[in-house]
């Protein structure tokens, strides 16, 4: 997971950073509320560790702005020295997903980040997705393109739904493979052939191929306004 740490206590921030990296995650850190909000809005994270007492902008305000003004739904775990019920309720009202009182155990931080991420993925998986003339209905697992229902193998649907969840973002082969095949190891030829079927079918149905190969990186669903052809 890619985690954003917003914490002005540099010793705590360094401790969190080192722990997360040692567990195979990657992290970015901000030491004040304004820099933290900027990172949270402009970059993509799987979770945010948010201290409440911050210079510049406090954690409650940051969280509320993130949800209400920027419409960013990245899971937020609030970290605080305050542990009254009112503090917790205020945190949830401002859009926090979870709450942990200092001092905390690093392993518990990781467990909660993973749990929040799983809930988030479940929520995303049930969201109707629409990109230009393409739409994906998670309830029926069906794809429509230019007003036509497109018949696709289930793995192609999973690949497309993942790319539709973030149009314009490049998905690596590894990310796409783990979405479509979960734990089963497949060769990169398998992904390539599924991509080929997917792109050919979409082109036939809608008249153009919305997917682009980003050489050396992976694949990306290009919103129509940005497509070259
Ligand atoms: Ca603080």
pLDDT band at 61 (very low <50, low <70, confident <90, very high): very high
Q: What pLDDT shows up at residue 227? A: 52
Going from the Cα of 7 to the center of ligand 1, the distance in angstroms, rounded, reads 6
Average pLDDT score over residue span 128-154 = 91
Find the 8 Cα to ligand 1 centroid distance in Å: 5
**Residue 138 CA, ligand 1 centroid: distance in Å:** 41
pLDDT of 88 over the 90 cut: no
Instruction: Output 179 or 159, whichever has higher pLDDT.
Output: 159
Main-chain phi, psi angles of 189, to 5 degrees = -65, -35
pLDDT for 180-192, tens place per residue? 876 555 566 888 9
Q: What is the pLDDT of residues 13-35, one digit of tens each?
A: 999 999 999 999 999 999 999 99
Which run of H or of E encompasses 32?
Answer: none
The residue with tokens 């859009």 is: 95
Distance 226 CA to ligand 1 centre (A): 42
The CATH classification number of 129-221 equals 1.10.10.10
CATH class of 2-123: alpha beta
CA of 54 to the centre of ligand 1 (A): 5
Distance 52 CA to ligand 1 centre (A): 6
Strand-pair category, 2-6 with 47-51: parallel
Which of the two residues, 139 and 221, has the higher pLDDT score? 221
Q: Is 114 helix (H, G, I), strand (E, B) or coil?
A: helix
Distance CA 168, CA 88 (A): 36
Q: Which two tokens stand for residue 184?
A: 């089963």
Per-residue pLDDT, 160? 95
- Cα of 89 vs centre of ligand 1, distance in Å, is 19
Average pLDDT over every residue of 52-67? 95
Rounded distance, CA 22 to CA 5, Å?
A: 15
For residue 188, the model assigns a pLDDT of 65
163 upstream amide cis, omega within 30 of 0: no
Ordered by start, the domain boundaries in the chain are 2-123, 129-221
Best CA proximity match to 3, nearest among 43, 62, 56: 43
């Amino acid at each position: 997971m890619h985690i954003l740490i917003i914490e002005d206590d540099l010793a705590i921030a360094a401790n969190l950073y080192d722990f997360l990296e040692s567990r195979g995650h990657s992290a970015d850190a901000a030491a004040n509320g304004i820099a933290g909000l900027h990172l949270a809005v402009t970059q993509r994270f799987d979770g945010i560790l948010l201290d409440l007492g911050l210079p510049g902008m406090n954690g409650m305000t940051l969280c509320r702005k993130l949800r209400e003004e920027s419409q960013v739904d990245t899971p937020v775990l609030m970290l605080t020295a305050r542990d009254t019920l009112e503090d917790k309720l205020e945190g949830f009202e401002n859009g926090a997903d979870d709450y942990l009182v200092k001092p905390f155990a690093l392993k518990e931080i990781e467990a909660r980040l993973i749990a929040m991420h799983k809930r988030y993925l479940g929520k995303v998986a049930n969201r109707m997705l629409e990109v230009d003339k393409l739409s994906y209905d998670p309830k029926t697992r069906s794809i429509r393109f230019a007003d036509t229902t497109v018949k696709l193998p289930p793995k192609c649907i999973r690949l497309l739904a993942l790319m539709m969840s973030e149009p314009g973002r490049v998905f690596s082969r590894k990310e796409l493979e783990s979405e479509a095949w979960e734990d089963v190891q497949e060769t990169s030829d398998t992904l390539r052939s599924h991509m080929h079927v997917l792109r050919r079918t979409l082109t036939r149905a809608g008249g153009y191929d919305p997917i682009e190969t980003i050489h050396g990186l992976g694949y990306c669903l290009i919103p129509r306004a940005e497509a070259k052809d």
